[in-house]
Structure 1
């Protein structure tokens, strides 16, 4: 089952599915079903071609990103804790001289720091494990803790959840922390693309969450930025398709 899930995730990247479909099209042609093979090949190439266009990629992602609009930190309600989900980022800004939370508009950690600095909750839970061999010091949560302290959140306000390897784990282990520490309502910080799945998983675990989505990407002002195909647009499309599939799986697991 796990192997099938890995294959399904790999196929969310448009060129991977295109290659598989082209191989099937070749097989159809060899079996003398040339018209079906040509049709399938054309569809396979169109699949990646369209999704490599930045505006098309933005449209696919927008279906998820628009579900939870961004809210300024000062307008957020009070909560018992702020939960920031790891995103596998390197936090390269951490050594930038004079960096502040206001400088990092697309950072989950910065959004969590801004909410804490605005007094929305007294505690910040950093949830992220990853492939660290069980070593908490090597977990993403530990890296997140070092980075968010640069933004003004003291270690005394932090709780680290370093066991999770996916969003379902984030929700399960955070639910345990909520019960342990008496958290009844939390501000959930993750990317706007990831937010619909995260909210679903956390509510499945009985956690009362208030979404705090963080927008990704940049404005597209020129024709090239909007319409010229790129590998980055393909990658962004693949992330959205992966989220759609993961949401379906989360609903089936509920």
Structure 2
């Protein structure tokens, strides 16, 4: 097990809360009452804090602001576009064949299709393995969608074996080197971009980030929308904390 795989489950606020609660039990048995009480309180407050939409927005913003949105016209030319799997959406969303459709505004696949149609890069690499043995790979799912958006089969390269961001980078880099490509436009979620870009650069590629699908949610001044705990906010916080755990693991594994 890699360090990233070890840290990722602990990054989930609820999981860490359970770990703190488990540590409180032996502390209480050892009669370290203040320590046990502190651990138990932290076990309660940690997931509660990250279930607040305001807290989820804050930690999400610390990641997404590292790579602000970039207009298609401002992107540099590259040898290839690389899209990382995740959240492709319903197949029917792409049936109209329009990558600029409003419902696809935050789709990373549609963003990649728009960039390809501009002629900024001739090759579109779709990276992501299957999550289950009986399911199609993420790359194959994206390929089905992007074909509907007018990208021809001849432009597609599928990387279907990766199970992590590090593998996305290493396997994609290998496929690109075989084609003499080094400069890539990397498309993934804005939250995931800091870790993804770092992994692709570590794999020896020159990366121009193309962030998509921002997860910051506006509370529009509504107190309840910002400070009432929700499961959605807890999940968003967990994803952001997982990204920080991955970044920490990258530093420690150097």
Following the alignment from structure 2 to structure 1, what is the Cα–Cα distance between the partners of residues 125 and 92? 19
Q: Larger relative CO (CA 8 A, sep 6+): 1 or 2?
A: 2
CA distance in 1, matches of 2:160, 2:16: 33
TM-score by length of 2: 0.90
Deviation at 1:214, TM superposition (A): 1.0
**1:39-75 residue CA offsets vs partner (Å, 9 max, x unmatched):** 2211221111111101111111221111111101122
Instruction: Find the counterpart in structure 1 of residue 118 from structure 2.
Output: 118
> How far is 1:132 from its partner?
5.2
Deviation (angstroms), 1:7: 4.8
Question: Residues 171-199 of structure 1: CA distance to partner in whole angstroms, max 9, x if unpaired?
Answer: 11111122111213110001111111111
Distance 1:57 1:151, change over 3 A: same
| Structure 2 residue 9 is the aligned partner of structure 1 residue 10 | yes
Alignment correspondent of 1:179: 177
Aligned to 2:239: 239
In the aligned structure 2, how far is the partner of 1:169 from the partner of 1:106?
Answer: 25
Q: Do the aligned partners of residues 24 and 252 (structure 1) sit closer, same or farther apart at CA in structure 2, a change above 3 Å counting?
A: closer
State the distance in 2 between where 1:70 and 1:36 align. 45
Contact 1:80 1:185 in 2 (8 A): yes
| Count of equivalent residues | 250
Q: Which stretch of the first structure deviates more once superposed, 108-117 or 211-220? A: 211-220
1:94 to 92, 95, 98: 92
Secondary structure of the equivalent of 1:22? Answer: helix
Match in the other structure for 1:24: 23
Compared CA separation, residues 210 and 90, structure 1 to 2 (3 A): closer
CA drift of 1:24 comes to 1.8
- Equivalent residues in 2 for 1:181-220, closer than 5 Å: 181-217=179-215, 218-220=217-219
Provide the rounded CA distance (Å) in 2 between the counterparts of 1:144 and 1:31: 55
- Unaligned runs of at least 5 residues, structure 1: none
Deviations 1:187-238 (A, max 9, x none): 0001111111111111111111100011323433233322211111111111
SS in 1 for 2:250: helix
SS at match of 2:201: helix
Q: Report the Cα distance in structure 1 between the residues aligned to 2:113 and 2:174, rounded to whole angstroms.
A: 23
CA shift at 1:138, angstroms? 2.3
